[in-house]
Amino acid sequence: MNNFGLTISRQVLLRWVFRTLTAGAMLGSIKIATDYFGSQNWGIYVTSLAIVTLLVSVEDFGLQTIVAREISLKHNLRRKIFRSGLLLRISLSVGAIILTLIAGYVFYPHKHTIFIIALLLSPILTADAVQSSCFSVFQADERISKIGFIEFIGVGLGLISAAIVSYWHLTLNIFALMQSGAALIAGTIAVLMLNKTFQKEDSDPKINWKYLLKTTAPFGVVILVNTAYLQIDIILLSLFKNSTTVAWYGLSALIAQFIMSASSFLMAGLLPKLSTESMDNLFKILQKVSKFFFAFGLITIIGALALSRSLILTITSNQFLGSVIPLKILICGVFVSSQNAIYGNSLVARGKEKTLIKVGISVLVVNVIFNLILIPTYGAIGSATAIIISEIVSTTLTTLYFYKYFKKVFIPENYLRVILAGCGSVVIWLVLVKLNYLPARPILNCITLGTAILGTYLIILFYRPLFNAIKTKSRNPQS
């Protein structure tokens, strides 16, 4: 366990470094694109990207996670499993591109621009098939830092393409094509990094694309349903509201989904051990993870409430202030989504993914119902609220299924210290706002508040003598 802990810590640290760089590149790309295209064209792009992302789930079909698990369990067949998975994913990507054509004509007969942009973005499907197939091997090898590096390359190239489009005053169509090209280049680099990892190994005629399709089918349905309820908001919003409203929600959703994916990539790094360790070690790992996610979720929520306006103004302009409230609402989902990642990924690692189908279908129905109720009146805020309700339902059901199989749930350690740090952060935030000590420039505002919030957590979480003194006084009031 010590060597495992050291490896995971190093890999997670490197992944966080690349994640930070990726976040910077993503925000830079969004700023350039939104400033150049404006809210209306950005709304068109976001809607098209939502369609493609929904179809990526058809191509993905849960194969990245399942293939990583199969390689961990059958390490001597890793090359055959990888090749079978890649063949299956490319075939599914072709089918998803065909679905893109159908979706354009069926759902957007009066919005041909959205359909055209979606079609130009469709090569992302094939690029994702290649990248994710490589990512499965990286996950099984516990080398998740390579995944972070490839993601950074893709987003970095996307940033460059946004700058080129803006500088040369190119069209939205060219921007979509260049984004597809960036994804394809990142996929090629992933294959080159993978090239030297395979050695001569055993052969098993039972391992083929049919075997993988059968094995991954239950989890694939889960991925389809989960992606549908995350992307259906934008699609429904585009049918009821104008492109500017879609742009507001799309910007907040991109930022929130990127932040919430932090829990997913950490659990992806843990997947091999979650699949192969004993139940006692599994519970020890999940207990530590729950402690980290609890602190991370609370820090993120407080930071989002304090920094949302400054962050939006740093990334874009005043015309996107409609994104502030949806972003605050969506970021609250970090807390519940991280708990969902703990129990959901553990069920998959232990071969219990079939139970998640019921969860996914239930959540999709809840999401669509609340979207149809809230969008006509509240627009982007209604979509964000529907997502939070869906996340709460999903996490509750997933936790109940985990308890049903393993008779165990996890209460984070030192949660009182985390809550105390949160209260301290809120007090500092309110004092700075009240005394008007915050800089006028949004980016300096973000840095000042972010440092205050993070610093408060670091002091209270890691300065043990201070916390011990507080506990001692509370137990011995006469001292």
Which carries the bigger pLDDT value, residue 50 or residue 161?
161
pLDDT at 473: 45
Which tokens is 403 given? 């308890």
Split at pLDDT 50, 70, 90, the class of 46 is confident
pLDDT at 185: 92
Write the DSSP assignment of 16-34 as a string of letters.
Answer: HHHHHHHHHHHHHHHHHHH
Task: Report whether 357 contacts 222 (CB < 8 A).
Answer: yes
Q: Quick one: average pLDDT of 369-394?
A: 87
Split at pLDDT 50, 70, 90, the class of 226 is low
Q: Quick one: average pLDDT of 372-394?
A: 87
Q: What is the pLDDT of residues 249-266, one digit of tens each?
A: 888 888 887 777 777 767
% of the chain exceeding 70 in pLDDT: 80
CA distance 102 to 402: 38
pLDDT beyond 50 at 382: yes
Q: Environment class of residue 276 by beta-carbon count within 10 Å: exposed (0-12), middle (13-18) or buried (19+)?
A: middle
Which tokens is 3 given? 């060597």
**Single-letter residue type at 353:** E
Domain boundary assignment for the chain: 38-239, 241-466
Query: Of 226, 216, 283, which Cα lies nearest the Cα of 70?
Result: 216
Which carries the bigger pLDDT value, residue 271 or residue 122?
122
Task: Report whether 185 contacts 151 (CB < 8 A).
Answer: no
% of the chain exceeding 90 in pLDDT: 4
Q: Is 244 helix (H, G, I), strand (E, B) or coil?
A: helix
pLDDT beyond 60 at 182: yes
Which tokens is 4 given? 């495992």
pLDDT at 104: 62
Query: Of 107, 128, 158, which Cα lies nearest the Cα of 53?
Result: 128
Give the DSSP H or E segment for 435: none
Question: For 13-17, 60-64, 69-73, 108-112, which range has the lowest pLDDT when averaged over its residues?
Answer: 108-112
CA distance 467 to 424: 13
Which tokens is 296 given? 């991370």
Q: Quick one: average pLDDT of 296-315?
A: 81
Q: Quick one: average pLDDT of 4-28?
A: 70
C-alpha distances out from residue 238 to 43, 58, 228, 231, 304, Å:
8, 22, 15, 11, 26
pLDDT beyond 90 at 160: yes
Q: Quick one: average pLDDT of 394-402?
A: 86
CA distance 452 to 425: 7
pLDDT at 230: 66
Q: Quick one: average pLDDT of 6-23?
A: 69
List for the chain the helix, strand, coil content (%; round to 5): 85, 0, 15
Write the DSSP assignment of 419-473 as a string of letters.
Answer: HHHHHHHHHHHHHHHHTT-S-SSHHHHHHHHHHHHHHHHHHHHH-HHHHHHHHHH
Q: Enumerate helices (H) and strands (E) in the chain, giving the number of each.
A: 17, 0
C-alpha distances out from residue 349 to 258, 279, 282, 409, Å:
23, 12, 10, 16
Which tokens is 218 given? 């239950």
Q: What is the largest CA-CA distance in the chain?
A: 76
